[in-house]
Chains A and B, each alone.
Chain A
Amino acid sequence: MNFLTELSQYMMENSSELFALTIEHILMVAYGIGLALLVGVPMGIIAARFEKLAPFIISITNILQLIPSLAMLAILMLYLGLGFETMVVGLFLYSLLPIVRNTYVGIKEVDPSIMEAGKGSGMTTFQLLRKVQLPLSIPFLMAGLRVASVIAIAVACIGPYIGAEGLGKEIISGISLQSEVKIYAGAIPATILAIIADLCLGGIEKKTKKRIA
């Protein structure tokens, strides 16, 4: 039988299972990045506000990202046990660098004359942040988000090793069963997810940039 028909037949027959895995994959990534936004944006703001802390904050997030993903997840598993949450924490740590760094750079890049206009209008430090610096750093943040999502979608594929499901489940069981069809059935949706994330967030980035330029 032709490989492609075999693959599509397999995917059709297991469509509800694959769909559930895709949703779980997306959820892991979304939770991880959501957490990273929640923590990373304030860290980026703090780094921009207190210039002395910046090298410290940036290097910590930098080191986090240098740890090989499998090693990081294995270490997390030692403390957090197996499961979905462990994967989310791993993705969160991985996404931190692009988000912290881009928030920091975005705020730093705001044109000094625009800052002066805000300050000269009588904005408080907090109003300046909320009304000027953060909105103007959104294109940078979007760029960071895009990088973070693509990385997270890839890293999430090793989820099954630490007891989290997701599209990695198909790929990894495909490896152990030496089933080409299963590997592709996991790899194709994961790749499509990454492409969609890249295109959508890239589009939003461009749009926000255009308005501001």
Chain B
Amino acid sequence: MIQLKDINKIYDDGFQALENINLTLEEGKINVLIGPSGCGKTTTMKLLNRLTEYTDGEILVDGESIQDLNPIEIRRKMGYVIQNIGLFPHMSIYDNVATVPKLLKWDKRKIKQKVHDLLHMVNLDPETYKGRYPSELSGGQQQRIGVIRALAAEPSTILMDEPFSALDPISREQLQDELVRLQEEINKTIVFVTHDMDEAIKIADQIILMKDGHIVQKGTPHDILANPANDFVKEFLGEDRLGSTLPSTSTFVNYNYPTITTDQTTNEAIEQMTSEQIDQLPVLDGDNRLQGMVQLYDLFRQQDQLIEAVMMNTNQHISEETETNQLVDIFTQKKEKYLPYVAKDGKFIGMIEQQQVFNSLQEFYRSKRGGQ
């Protein structure tokens, strides 16, 4: 685990690039640093392998201050994929991938085995590619080599600075998928810098959103989609883009959610909820219009009564005209797990579950191809 505590970074020219950064980078997770260009993502990342030194604060790696560790050793233990790939043009692919194992003086056979395994892992045939030079590879292939070079010495932490930003959308998409798959396989702590929200939502376990040297918000993609901290975050999430391409609201509706009518009894409602294992029911009138809601725990104290007498009148609902991108806002404001979905004429259609909205949105980003 890597912890940054009250980190400030002032460059030699007096520019304060980071202010009061407090951050825990989770073990075995993909931590994504995101924010507009110049917000301090690269600076934050370079503090971790001491390519840059912080001005004050403390960085702990597994409880030990990195000031007490040898920078050369830290770098050999942390894989690093730099912003512009940075393959060594005068070295073969084999030698590029073997860079850190060679510095660590691994046994030759072990290095060979490792390089072959890694090339296989990213679907490049070792016999074909190991003797080639970087200039003989496509951009996507070079990027893969950049990634596996960082993995070669089996580091526990991998730093990746906009590793896919220079790629065409299709290669980028492929490499994102590969990274997620790889992460499940090798379970490293990954620190990943990007300025692409689609990418962040797709791959992140934790998103750290930065602006002007500050952390604006951090959390799971779900947290951030569910509770954008302010307008900056919302803007960064891109409401317009969400609205135009997202699946329609109706895809989130559970049409089979049980209902009850005003003239039924509380006992019937309790029975229905316990058998369906839910804790609330929408109440409808004879015309299928939404009248209110009943909660399981309220009803226990009010047995043998008519629903009409005990229900909470509610106007909390999502109307048929609501856009998908507004759903996140609505759920955020109302703090409800479920909300009824109602047609223009007031007739009940079904229920929408908050969890499902967020899951679907995340799924949508994960599966979206060619995101910009």
What residues of chain A have their CB less than 8 Å away from a CB belonging to chain B? Answer: 111, 113-114, 116-124, 127, 131-132, 135-136, 211-213
Q: Is the CB of A121 within 8 A of B100?
A: yes
Query: Are A121 and B84 also in contact (CB < 8 A) when A114-B89, A116-B51, A212-B90 are?
Result: no
Residues of A close to B82: CB separation below 8 A: 113, 116-117, 120
Contact of A119 among B73, B75, B84 (CB under 8 A): B75
Q: Is there contact, CB below 8 Å, between A213 and B135?
A: yes
Give A124 to B75 CA distance when docked, in angstroms.
Answer: 10
- Chain B residues with a Cβ under 8 A of chain A: 49, 51, 72-77, 80, 82-90, 99-100, 103, 133, 135, 149, 159
Contact status A211-B103, CB under 8 Å: no
Quick check: B88 and A122 within 8 Å, CB to CB? no
Instruction: Report the nearest A residue to B45, measured CB to CB.
Output: A120
Bound complex: CA A121 to CA B135 (Å): 20
B103 adjacent to A122 (CB under 8 Å): yes
Give Cα A173 to B84, complex, Å: 62
For B133, the chain A residues whose CB sits under 8 A away are 211
B89 A213 Cβ-Cβ under 8 A: yes
Please provide the 8 A-B residue pairs with the shortest distance between their CB atoms, ordered closest to farther.
A117-B86, A122-B76, A122-B75, A120-B80, A113-B84, A113-B86, A135-B90, A212-B89
Once the chains bind, are A127 and B49 in contact (CB under 8 Å)?
no
A-side contacts of B72, CB under 8 Å: 122-124
Q: Other CB < 8 Å A-B pairs besides A117-B88, A121-B80, A122-B73, 20 of them?
A: A113-B82, A113-B86, A116-B86, A117-B85, A120-B49, A120-B51, A121-B99, A121-B100, A122-B74, A122-B77, A122-B100, A122-B103, A123-B103, A127-B103, A131-B88, A135-B90, A136-B89, A136-B90, A211-B89, A213-B135
B75–A113 contact, CB under 8 A? no
Secondary structure at the B interface, as helix, strand, loop or mixed, is: mixed
B105 to chain A, nearest CB (A): 12
Give Cα distance in the complex from A121 to B83, angstroms. Answer: 14
- Given A113-B82, A113-B83, A211-B133, answer yes or no on A121-B90 (Cβ-Cβ < 8 Å): no
Chain A residues closer than 8 Å to B159, beta-carbon distance: 120
Q: Which residue of A lies closest to B84 (CB)?
A: A113
Q: Are A121 and B89 in contact (CB under 8 A)?
A: no
- Tell me the complex Cα distance, A135–B96, Å: 14
Interface centre among B49, B76, B89, B100 (most CB of A within 10 A): B89
CB atoms of A114 and B86 under 8 A apart: yes
A residues less than 8 Å from B80 (CB atoms): 117, 120-121
Give the residue among A111, A114, A120 with the most B Cβ atoms within 10 A. A120
User: Chain A contacts of B149 at CB under 8 A?
Assistant: 121
Q: How far is the CB of A156 from chain B (nearest CB, A)?
A: 33
A-B contact pairs, 28 of them (CB 8 A): A111-B86, A113-B82, A113-B84, A114-B86, A114-B87, A114-B88, A114-B89, A117-B80, A117-B87, A117-B88, A120-B80, A120-B82, A120-B159, A121-B99, A121-B100, A121-B149, A122-B72, A122-B73, A122-B74, A122-B75, A122-B77, A122-B103, A123-B103, A124-B72, A131-B88, A211-B135, A212-B90, A213-B89
